[in-house]
């Protein structure tokens, strides 16, 4: 069991995009997306990277170990369940999330108008104030138009080990 007051986690995810599929990011359905994620689950690349960031901060592996993409039971699953499980594992080791920073690379549609919705959704899942969830968007500058990529850093704190 770690005795460090802080741990840093990093997660990354990518999904191929195709027409006729839904796009969900951070638990928020993206309206008017021409392309959606090809995935075994609901393909929420933000929540997959959030969960991996939580797990990696405590060297707990990655979501594929807990939710294999070969298991029929996880087909089409709501990725909020993945984050909830990762959070349970983090809490069981005596840590809680302090803040997270999310970067989404997606060419279309523009996500700026949904920034607050995504931050609020991720914050709610992690039991954090919205102000502790940074959300940035980038395009690939046309290099990967049928692709969504996400990267997330997470600070994990052991309550009681640092002055408030």
d(CA 133, CA 138): 17
Contact set for ligand L45E5XJ5, span 130-149 (CB under 6 A): 137-139
Residue 106 lies near ligand L45E5XJ5 (rule: CB under 6 A): yes
Q: Which residue has the tokens 């990011």?
A: 25
Nearer to ligand CDI, 18 or 69 (CB): 69
Residue 102 lies near ligand L45E5XJ5 (rule: CB under 6 A): no
Nearer to ligand CDI, 67 or 95 (CB): 67
Residue 10 lies near ligand CDI (rule: CB under 6 A): no
Position among 41, 56, 105, 121 found at the interface with ligand CDI (CB under 6 A):
41
Q: CB-hemisphere CA count at 13 Å for 48? A: 25
d(CA 100, CA 159): 17
Residue 110 lies near ligand L45E5XJ5 (rule: CB under 6 A): yes
Is 64 marked within a binding site? yes
Nearer to ligand CDI, 68 or 129 (CB): 68
Contact 121, 102 (CB under 8 A): no
d(CA 13, CA 104): 10
The phi-psi region of residue 152 (left if phi > 0; otherwise alpha if psi is between -120 and 50; otherwise beta) is beta
Where along the sequence are the contacts to ligand L45E5XJ5 (CB under 6 A)?
106, 110-112, 137-139
Residues forming the annotated binding site?
13-15, 40-41, 48, 62-64
């Amino acid at each position: 069991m770690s005795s460090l007051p802080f741990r840093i986690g990093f997660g990354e995810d990518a999904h191929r995009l195709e027409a006729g599929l839904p796009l969900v990011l951070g638990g928020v359905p993206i309206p008017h997306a021409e392309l959606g994620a090809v995935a075994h689950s609901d393909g929420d690349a933000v929540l997959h990277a959030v969960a991996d960031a939580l797990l990696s901060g405590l060297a707990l592996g990655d979501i594929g170990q807990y939710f294999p993409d070969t298991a029929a039971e996880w087909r089409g699953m709501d990725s909020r369940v993945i984050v909830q499980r990762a959070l349970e594992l983090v809490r069981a080791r005596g840590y809680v999330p302090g803040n997270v920073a999310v970067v989404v690379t997606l060419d279309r549609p523009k996500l700026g108008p949904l920034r607050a919705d995504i931050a609020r959704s991720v914050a709610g899942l992690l039991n954090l104030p919205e102000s502790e969830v940074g959300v940035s968007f980038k395009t690939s500058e046309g290099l990967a138009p049928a692709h969504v990529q996400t990267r997330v850093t997470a600070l994990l704190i052991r309550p009681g080990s640092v002055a408030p």
